[in-house]
Structure 1
Amino acid sequence: MTLTIWVDDWQMQCCGESFAPGDVVSWTLLEVDPEDYADIVGGERADEIDFREEHHGQGEGHTPTSVEVVSIVEVHCRYGVPPGATDKANYPVPGTTVLVPVKAADGWAKARPDVGFAGYLVTARRASDEPEDAAIPIRR
């Protein structure tokens, strides 16, 4: 069984460790609402996201899960102030997603025209050295 895991750019840049396909990583996986990622990755890809990786405060009390990285895709999108917004904060602009398969992730990505790096979509599977009854969180 494969999982799709969202890894934020800022989490990796802050204190994440590089990874590549074939690597076994130990991550705290938190359930997500795919709708939260629709503007960043598009609705269809958002529906594939099972978990997000968290290694800051929100992951407290969750047991890390060992997974083997299968593939990595950089996610880039344009950011802008939505029409009619009063707070002038930038948000992902729907329909501007650029997906780039990569051989490794270190939190930094090559600049692309008109879009900013947002994070990674990581396909992974439970690590073979985990006991058979090891719990991968169940998506509700």
Structure 2
Amino acid sequence: MNHVRLETRDGFLIRIDFEVLRRSKVVQDMCQNSSADGTHQELILPLHGIDHEVLLKILLWMEYHMADEEPIWVQNKTEPVDIERHIDDWDKEFLREKLATVRAIMKGADYLNLPWLVKLCARKLRIRGSAELYLRTLGNIAPID
């Protein structure tokens, strides 16, 4: 299986190389369950918890980090004091978006079980938003633990 088609909440089909999706535990599980029936046709995975615009942004992030190891700080409960040194410039530029877009990316990343991207978004919201906004946003998604 080289390619997978992802069906978004708003009805778009996005065809993507499976290698890009390997970082998502949700997609891996869906592919394992779908390929267990022995068919070799291209899979269509329903991702009805996410719109195509947000999914395209997340796929861009996943493609950029496809060969990267998840940083150690992602698994830690607390951020390192020098966290800014651990976040590369590409990620900082990637999240240079409106707060509503960063929140949508964070929710989509949580939906796809991408803890690295969730933590990057949470970090961005803490920097640019008020503490109340950050807590309200986190209250709307599942815990990372």
Do these two structures clear the TM 0.5 threshold for a shared fold by scoring above it?
no
The structure showing larger relative contact order (alpha-carbon pairs under 8 Å, at least 6 residues apart) is 1
Q: Of Structure 1 and Structure 2, which has the larger fraction of its residues in strand?
A: 1
The structure in which a higher percent of residues are helix is 2
> What is the TM-score with the length of structure 2 in the denominator?
0.23
What is the TM-score of this pair, normalised by structure 1? 0.24
